[in-house]
Amino acid sequence: MAGSVRVTRYQFTAAGVSAGERVIPQETPVAIVHDAATYAVMMATPADLEDFVLGFSLTEGVIASLADVREIEIVEAGAGVEARLWLAPGRSAPLAERRRRLAGPTGCGLCGIESLEEAVRPLGLVTQAGPVVGYDEVMAAMAALAGAQTLGRETRAVHGAGFWRPAEGLVALREDVGRHNALDKLAGALARQGEAADNGIVLLTSRVSVEMVQKTAAMGVCVLVAVSAPTALAVHMAEEAGITLIAVARADGFEVFTHFNRVAGMMENGQQLLKGRGSHV
């Protein structure tokens, strides 16, 4: 299925009304199916669905690595699409403990979660190391992300998630109508390509909610950069997980919320500002 479609629209301006066309993104129900049982149903852009089901399964903790997967199959089914993932022998028991059916909005909500405690579960420390990034690199990464968003330029209606590695540039990019979906697709793409994620940066065109931090942590990435602001819980979770959270990344700069030791120049220039305040280091 195509990721976008061309439709007729009528434009109203001060000069009058004109007919024309606009490219808009496709949105379809996608059932995430593990071993023939539906785990979740998400509204998503029907592109890169192999990456989506794999990345979703990784970031939701259904599988630990590509080695847990026996087969992936994408099947058009009635009103939507089934993204079928068959688990390797021995992986069915952990899945059975979390399985439930869920119909959610556009890639939002906490899937397969059955308690409030699990929704805000503590995150383990991602890594003590990770890349150190500077102002120029963050700005270059976000510019590259914007420039590579083909579907985004066509429709102005999708989110993007990219992976940037210092000295290499933009390694992978995925787009979707749902910001969670875009990040899941990115996670799946990196896994399928055999790319290590602990030495790079996740880039987002969206705000940073707690789920985005949780998924980034599940990928093993310790630097997250986003265009929009984070929620308070996202900042708390990023601090807890050891993730450097950079947000409000615009043309004139960005803001660092947690673990600024991975941002070049912050240790020298930021210490005086942080004296007498609670710091996130």
Helix 232-241 and helix 210-219, axial crossing angle in degrees, nearest 10: 20
With a cut of 90, say whether residue 145 has pLDDT above it. Answer: yes
Domains of the chain, start order: 28-119 (3.10.20.10), 135-274 (3.40.140.10)
With a cut of 60, say whether residue 177 has pLDDT above it. Answer: yes
pLDDT at 100: 47
101 pLDDT band, cuts 50/70/90, is: very low
Cα 193 to its chain centre, rounded Å, is 17
pLDDT at 7: 97
pLDDT at 78: 86
For strands 244-250 and 253-256, give the pairing.
antiparallel
When the pLDDT of each residue in the chain is averaged and rounded to a whole number, the result is: 88
With a cut of 90, say whether residue 278 has pLDDT above it. Answer: no
- Spatial CA neighbour of 160 closest among 141, 140, 180, 132: 180
Helix (H) or strand (E) holding 201: strand 201-204
Instruction: Kindly state the tokens that stand for 111.
Output: 């899937």
pLDDT digits (tens, 9 = 90+) for 148-169: 999 999 999 999 999 999 989 9
Query: pTM for the full model?
Result: 0.88
**What amino acid occupies position 220?**
G
**What amino acid occupies position 87?**
L
Rounded CA-CA distance 205/128 in Å is: 26
Count H helices, E strands: the chain?
10, 12
Catalytic residue among 108, 110, 146, 264: 108
222 is catalytic: no
Dihedral sign of CA atoms 240, 242, 243, 247 in order:
positive
